[in-house]
Amino acid sequence: MLALVNDILDLSKIEAEQLVLEKIPFNLRTLIEETADIHALRADEKNLELLCHIGADVPAQVNGDAARLRQILLNLIGNAIKFTHKGEVVVKVASNPDISDPYRLLFSVTDTGVGIPADKIDTIFDSFSQADSSTTRQYGGTGLGLTISKRLVELMGGWIRAESVAGKGSVLSFAISLGSAPEPQARIATDASFSLKDVRMLIIDDNSTNRLILREVLSAQGALVSEAHGGAEGIQVFREASRMGQDYAVVITDCHMPEVDGFAVVEALRTAGGSCKTILMVSSSQLSMGTASALGIGAYLIKPVKSVELIKAINVAMLKTLDETQDRIVTTPSLARRAEDLPILLVEDTPDNRLLIKAYLRKTPYKIEEAENGSVALQKFKTHAYGLVLMDIQMPVMDGHQATRAMREWEMEQGRDPTPIIALTAHAIKQEMDKSVAAGCTAHLIKPIKKETVLQIVQKYLPVSPAT
């Protein structure tokens, strides 16, 4: 109901011409990748590939309304995942080939879902419209997301359209013009200290889109990239290269492939010999992270893989050093054990807010457990050990202050050391902060909370370090 109210308010503002678009500089690649991250958990739950393909000629820095562009993409990606049961969802950004302006960009979200019947495709952008009434019953939704997206695109001076084949999938695309902004010195800020120029790399993945994305990122760094369409072919290519004395320094393999999966590939490559320096694994799920760590794989990356993280992971693995950046995805067996020993308790009554925090932390070794109110959290707290509690303050049944006080009282009764409890609230005034401290909270974060802030606070109070 709250989502419906918010959508109606947004649409009312647009139609009353009360919505003013911002014009601020932002990094387009970062926005696209972080937006996809928010939906990555939903895609993983449905065993879907969620991929981002950003053209090499797309400007890194642009000027425009980042929040509204994110809103459009969230709607389109969310719809694609909702109506796709098998296959992939691909977010693509490219320069518009019909126009010479480099800042006139073409965005598309392609899925392999149920598709849209031909007689319904012209109405999907209408208010409260879905393919038919059974769609609302089966999939839910307000029926306003695409309407709002269309209005926002038009406000940005662009167009939006849908193409679909029922039973095979859909492509929703839009074109908008963004302003220019000063470019950073490098298109991808890699922080790399190891040159990838002329480094031989092998990508093993049954998904052609993912191979294309990885190849473009690595080739832009000067790497010499070869591809294999699956596990069996990858093993054969690797062995042939070794036999000819042309070993691959880096192998990147998908985890989940038909017939021969990523773990079978790793075992086969190790028995094949050669001088491969490191093997990286990419996956849509964290479930295999522990197995990958036990095998000593150089890095385990969660899709959709960010360009910066890919290059950084290769450097860490190649140089055998630990990168201190908190938004890093390289995992060792000891870090994985530490995260399992001390999970984080996320206490938040709003499902969307829980999903966002989980998305922020999903590429870290931390394990997240959830509670929808203070009462549920208190019961969990008494029966499980947690390394950190992220506590929303405004909740039904039992609010965050009440829950925190009860937790502190129980810790004193049990003679336990206090667990760090971080208050999450929309109130920035000093009186509210004082209330949190008085209740027993360790620190106080103001909503909306940025990813960097969450990572910093978690690392501060629950640092990941090698087990002794």
The strands making up 61-64's β-sheet, listed across from edge to edge, are 24-27, 61-64, 179-180
Q: Which of 342-351, 449-458, 459-468 ranks highest by mean pLDDT?
A: 342-351
Question: Tell me, what's the pLDDT at 325?
Answer: 34
Question: Tell me, what's the pLDDT at 260?
Answer: 94
Give residues with Cβ within 8 angstroms of 468, minimum separation 6: none
CA-to-CA distance for 232 and 257, rounded, in angstroms?
A: 10
- Quick check: 299 and 339 in contact, CB under 8 A? no
Distance of CA 249 to the CA centre of its chain: 28
Q: Compute and round to an integer the Cα radius of gyration of the chain.
A: 24
- Written as one string, the DSSP assignment of 274-297 is S---EEEEEES-STTHHHHHHTT-
Token digits of residue 368: 């997240």
Q: Cα–Cα–Cα angle for 203, 327, 202, nearest 5°?
A: 10
CA-to-CA distance for 344 and 367, rounded, in angstroms?
A: 6
Question: Tell me, what's the pLDDT at 341?
Answer: 65
- Quick check: 319 and 433 in contact, CB under 8 A? no
Token digits of residue 374: 């203070």
Token digits of residue 16: 């009353």
Phi/psi zone of residue 445: left (φ > 0), alpha (ψ -120 to 50 degrees), beta? beta
- Quick check: 389 and 377 in contact, CB under 8 A? yes
Residue scoring higher pLDDT (59 or 127): 59
Residue scoring higher pLDDT (1 or 416): 416
Average pLDDT of the chain, as a whole number: 82
- Written as one string, the DSSP assignment of 181-236 is -PPPSSSS-----S--TT-EEEEE-S-HHHHHHHHHHHHHTT-EEEEESSHHHHHH
Q: Which residue ranges form the domains of the chain, and what is each CATH number?
A: 2-180 (3.30.565.10), 200-331 (3.40.50.2300), 336-461 (3.40.50.2300)
Three-state DSSP at 434 gives helix
Residue 427, classified by CB atoms within 10 Å of its CB into exposed (0-12), middle (13-18) or buried (19+), is: middle
Residue 314's nearest CA partner among 233, 405, 217, 402 is 217
Residue scoring higher pLDDT (389 or 5): 389
CB atoms within 10 A of CB 229: 16
Question: Please, what is the end-to-end C-alpha distance for the chain in angstroms?
Answer: 49
The percent of residues in the chain predicted with pLDDT above 90, rounded, is: 47
Lowest mean pLDDT among 177-191, 332-346, 351-365, 416-430: 332-346
Question: Tell me, what's the pLDDT at 402?
Answer: 93
Q: How many residues does the chain have?
A: 468
Q: With the C-alpha atoms ordered 276, 282, 283, 286, is the resulting torsion angle positive or negative?
A: positive
CA-to-CA distance for 388 and 56, rounded, in angstroms?
A: 41
Tokens 């070869």: give the residue. 226
Peptide bond into 59 cis (omega under 30): no
Adjacent-strand bridge partners of 281? 253, 300
- Written as one string, the DSSP assignment of 322-387 is ----TT-----HHHHHHHHHS-EEEE-S-HHHHHHHHHHHTTSS--EEEESSHHHHHHHHHHS--S
Token digits of residue 84: 């796709």
Which DSSP symbol is given to 462? S
- Quick check: 64 and 42 in contact, CB under 8 A? no
Residue 197, classified by CB atoms within 10 Å of its CB into exposed (0-12), middle (13-18) or buried (19+), is: exposed
Claim: this prediction has a pTM higher than 0.85: no
CA-to-CA distance for 264 and 241, rounded, in angstroms?
A: 19
Question: Tell me, what's the pLDDT at 14?
Answer: 56
Distance of CA 182 to the CA centre of its chain: 26
Token digits of residue 200: 């031989």
Residue 161's nearest CA partner among 176, 171, 148 is 171
Residue scoring higher pLDDT (109 or 9): 109
Confidence class for position 339, pLDDT limits 50, 70, 90: very low
